[in-house]
Amino acid sequence: PQWVRLEDQHGKPYFYNPDDASVQWELPQVPVPAPRSIHKSSQDSETPAQASPLEEKTKTLDKAGVLHRTKTADKGRRLRKKHWSASWTVLEGGVLTFFKDSKASAAGGLRQPPKLSTPEYTVELRGASLSWAPKDKSSRKNVLELRSRDGSEYLIQHDSEAIISTWHKAIGEGIQELSADLPREEESESSSADFGSSERLGSWREDEARPGAGAATSESDLSRVRHRLRWLLLKRPTLQSLREKGYIKDQVFGCALAALCERERSPVPRFVQQCIRTVEARGLDIDGLYRISGNLATIQKLRYKVDHDERLDLDDGRWEDVHVITGALKLFFRELPEPLFPFSHFRQFIAAIKLQDQAQRRRCVRDLVRSLPAPNHDTLRLLFQHLWRVIEHGDQNRMSVQSVAIVFGPTLLRPETEETSMPMTMVFQNQVVELILQRCSDIFPPH
């Protein structure tokens, strides 16, 4: 349906469906950018036609409906987890708004809720970019990736390919229309040379400082200065573009595994390799290895050093406590946006471990491990071969297969959303890790 935005006699906005006069729903009391008017003058003369009071208050609602959405980055900072949820979504006046508490809309399918709650996310499309999300961003189908100018990123999804395609078209057209209003770079560069001249700026300041400067400075000069300042602010590159050009490097902790391996040009993250080498060199016989936590403050210092691309030497006296290194390694795996066992494989592993036939269970788990993406598979191979060497020194460190599985089960294998039967699910998580440890040589045969 074509929704129309109206205002009542008190100026309170609401949406109205011309095809069904009985259906209308109210907007929350939040600022709404002025949308484009759908009513234009039918006259071509310089004097526009007098609009009626209804026409003055009528505006377009570009699109509205229920979508699944999650925020993956907040102003350039990667978020640790993806929290998918259904949300009533409104596209109006170049602004995409996701409203909280979509229970009413979700229960009614694609019908609008009778009254909306406070917006949870508001995304300005001016200067934004939209594309189909790659598979490594989400295991769901029909996913769009929206990046705003401030570096925030959102994933938008709908099970219907036709519906998500209409949203792709509507949002894309909005971005294209708003981007056309941005000043052209060539135009700005020619004017910025004039504006950027220290002599011109200096003389402007001197003129303004003299008595009567308010009268001497023309309104057009002030308007030109405002325009150029506004353009400089709009020209600022987004955090995403700075990353793509290599000026800003993503952190190690919290970075997607595939992206980290690609950036480091390594099958396994370097930090994981360093930790494993150091633990095996001087810590396999330490009591409670991986079970006892290291000093949290020292672990955070190590994390800061790794994230800021400083030269890392784990043999430095600051990292003498092996529990600090094992704690940082476990933190690295917990901070992954998607665990080492991807969300797309979680239910398959749980189903495999529930199989009654032991031979079939082992074979199914082995095949699932071998079907993982290369960065996940190679990192799992290195980690589990290391953990098996930890278990081989169980007489000294008192770490058995079961105790190692309890430590790493919830860290390496977890659902995308919390489930009601979490205690039982945790048992199956541990059993998957335990089985892979027991069958390590079979699942990860030597090269």
Which architecture does CATH list for 257-443? Orthogonal Bundle (1.10)
Report the distance separating Cα 214 and Cα 197, nearest Å.
22
The 3-state DSSP class for residue 397 equals helix
pLDDT at 87: 86
Report the distance separating Cα 402 and Cα 396, nearest Å.
16
Report the distance separating Cα 445 and Cα 197, nearest Å.
67
Report the distance separating Cα 65 and Cα 97, nearest Å.
11
Cβ atoms within 10 Å, residue 272: 20
Cβ atoms within 10 Å, residue 162: 8
pLDDT band at 275 (very low <50, low <70, confident <90, very high): very high
For residue 106, CA distances in Å to 93, 158, 334 come to 24, 12, 32
Report the distance separating Cα 42 and Cα 54, nearest Å.
16
Say whether pLDDT at 261 is over 70.
yes
Averaged pLDDT for residues 195-209 = 44
Q: Quickly tell me which residue has 């989400």 as its tokens.
A: 138
The 3-state DSSP class for residue 65 equals strand
pLDDT at 209: 46
**Lowest pLDDT segment from 140-154, 194-208, 218-232, 389-403:** 194-208
* Residues facing residue 156 across a β-bridge: 69, 144
Residue pair 339/254 in contact (Cβ under 8 Å)? The answer is: no
Averaged pLDDT for residues 310-336 = 92
Q: DSSP for 204-239, please give it.
A: HHHHHHSTTHHHHS-HHHHHHHHHHHHHHHHHSPPH
Cβ atoms within 10 Å, residue 309: 11
pLDDT band at 83 (very low <50, low <70, confident <90, very high): confident
pLDDT at 231: 77
Higher pLDDT, 19 or 142: 142
Q: Name, in order, each residue with C-beta under 8 angstroms of 318's C-beta and a sequence gap of 6 or more.
A: 298, 301, 302
Kindly indicate whether the domain formed by 4-179 is annotated with CATH number 2.60.120.260: no
Averaged pLDDT for residues 318-347 = 94
The string of pLDDT tens digits covering residues 30-56 is 444 444 443 333 333 334 444 444 333
The string of pLDDT tens digits covering residues 159-190 is 998 899 999 999 988 888 887 655 544 444 43
The encoded tokens of residue 161 equal 């390919």
Domains 4-179 and 257-443 share a fold: no
Q: Where are the domains of the chain?
A: 4-179, 257-443
